Chain A
Amino acid sequence: MVGAVVVVVLQILMCNRIALWGVATPFVLVYLFLKAPSGLQAHLFMTFAFFVGLLVDIFTNTPGVYALASVTVAFLHNPLLARIQYRDRGEEKYVPSFASLGMWRYVLYAVILTAVFCTVIFCAESFSFFSPSLLAGRIVGSTLLTLLVILVVDLLMERKR
């Protein structure tokens, strides 16, 4: 819970103001959804994601943008986990991490969710103002930077344990 608040505050106050080379913005908000345990009730999770996204939207003057991206990621979370793990765990609940999914599976999982999040954010934001190359650059740049931040944080956390 405290972690969730920290992530949201970080996103609002710090990460939204970063734009490396004008294209790469870290969206640490994804981390919140990435780390959601498996087997959550989809409806509740999406509702949670919607309101978290809306909260960030209120502070960034982008009504609907973050909410849409968050809900999309929340929607994909469970089906993706079910596809990506190497053995059927049945009802067992676990938190996605390097340890629980294995190195490459976890990276793949993070790449997909982050890429979806960034794509939705930038597409929704640039609806009225179009330049495809810049849009693609922003999506790729932000996905890479977000991944870097998330994976480094994860490695550090794992190391501590």
Chain B
Amino acid sequence: MRKLLQFFRQHSSLFVYLCYVALCLILLFWFNPYQQSVYFSSASRVAGSLYDLSGAVTGYFGLQKANNELLAQNGKLQDELAVLRNTLALYQAHDTLSQLPLPPANIDTSRLIVARVINNSVARRNNCITIDKGRRDGVFPEMGLVDQNGVVGVVSSASSDYAVALSLLNPHLRISCKIKNTQHIGSLAWDGTSVHHAGLEELPEYITVNVGDTIVTSGYSGAFPEGLVVGFVEDTRKVKKNNFYVITIRLAADFSALNFVRVVEYHKPVEQILIEKEAQSYE
């Protein structure tokens, strides 16, 4: 027993070090899904995040109890959600029956909020942008960001006065795009190498593209309406990847010199969301 204690005493700094490593790894994995980073990002006030951290540490002691409470609450909320969904669907049906269906919503439904970029990274693997507008100004997660040149990113988290967006230079972000004037859809993804380039993936083999062709958003994702410029075809060589093809495009926005961006407030028509959900539930 004494030897054990002596062992601990001799290597105490090693144990303290291992404790800190464990703490760091918890932080690293806990906050890794970038979408959840609102608790610990420059979007939230520093003080707030520190309080959250201390709460998270003490919170471990009551984890079992908290888990049970959450399960109970979750069940209750699910019931409530089902009731609300039904009511909503009912009203929706009434609405569509009582008046002629509206034309599908297009770019007109998007209002533009202008924000200043206060923090921006291009050198890291997972690059983020912090802007000085938040929930109070109507900025919410899943909204798109564009600057004067083209698409910049998608808001991932927002506090009352700030918001953090995943920039296009973030492998976690994929945006549905198409080649302008055609209906060929691809998925834009960053491969982590160049600040000015990204790949357009999931293209079929038979299509032909020319250098300089414009790539625009397809409107399929919830963040952007159709037709916003994303970039231009840089290289027509198609690289095969999982039975589909990838072409290199030059991004329209200059990420190393972002200053002001516009937040695109775009809502898919409620009706579209509902029918898509319904279709998903049949799968």
Contact = CB atoms under 8 A, between A and B. Distances in A.
B70 interface: no
Given A46-B16, A59-B42, A71 B24 contact: yes
B28 interface: yes
Contacts of A17: 120-121, 123
Contact of A61 (B13, B37, B192): B37
Given A25-B123, A127-B28, A127-B32, A50 B23 contact: yes
Interface stretch (A85-93, A105-113, A128-136, A152-160): A128-136
Nearest to A50: B20
Contacts of B164: 61
A71 B42 contact: no
Contact of A64 (B28, B49, B126, B192): B28
The range of chain B's interface size is 35 or more
Nearest to B127: A61
Contacts of B194: 22
Interface string A142-159: 000000000000000000
Nearest to A60: B121
Given A64-B31, A124-B28, A42 B13 contact: yes
Given A64-B25, A131-B192, A43 B31 contact: no
Contacts of B112: none
Contacts of A25: 123
Interface string A114-144: 0000000000111111010010000000000
Given A42-B12, A129-B171, 8 more contacts: A22-B195, A25-B123, A46-B20, A61-B37, A63-B31, A72-B17, A75-B17, A131-B193
Contacts of B187: none
Interface in B184-236: 192-195
B17 A61 contact: no
Nearest to B37: A61
B30 interface: yes
Interface string A55-84: 001111111110110011001001000000
